[in-house]
Amino acid sequence: MNITKQEAGKVVKKFGMDERKGKELIYKLYWKGRMVLTTAIPKGKGTLHCANDFRKQLFLSVDQLEAAKKCPFKLADLIAHLKYIGEIQDDEDDKK
């Protein structure tokens, strides 16, 4: 699995993750006021050498990350997946 730093940046921005700049770009995803995941992307261009770690931090399969890079996998898909694997708890508001 190959992903560039630029592609990784597009994926986290598509998911609406909050960005914090420092030595690395830190991204956090909040759902209903609770942080549910965080990841970091080194600054610069080129291949993301920690692509497998990046994928695991987003709790995605290789296929899901590939879909996210190509656009069909959006924030709603990520939230549904995180609920399915138990990283986000379903509540009554989501069942309406």
pLDDT tens, position by position, 42-91: 988 899 988 999 999 999 999 999 999 988 899 999 999 999 999 998 76
This prediction has a pTM of 0.80
Task: Summarize the confidence of residues 23-31 as an average pLDDT.
Answer: 93
C-alpha distances (whole Å) from 53 to each of 29, 44, 76 are 16, 18, 22
- Domain of residue 32: give its range: 5-95
Dihedral sign for Cα 32, 37, 4, 52, please. Answer: negative
Cβ contact 6:45 at 8 Å: yes
Amino acid at 9: G
User: Who contacts 42 (Cβ-Cβ below 8 Å, separation ≥6)?
Assistant: 5, 24, 25, 48, 50
pLDDT for 71? 81
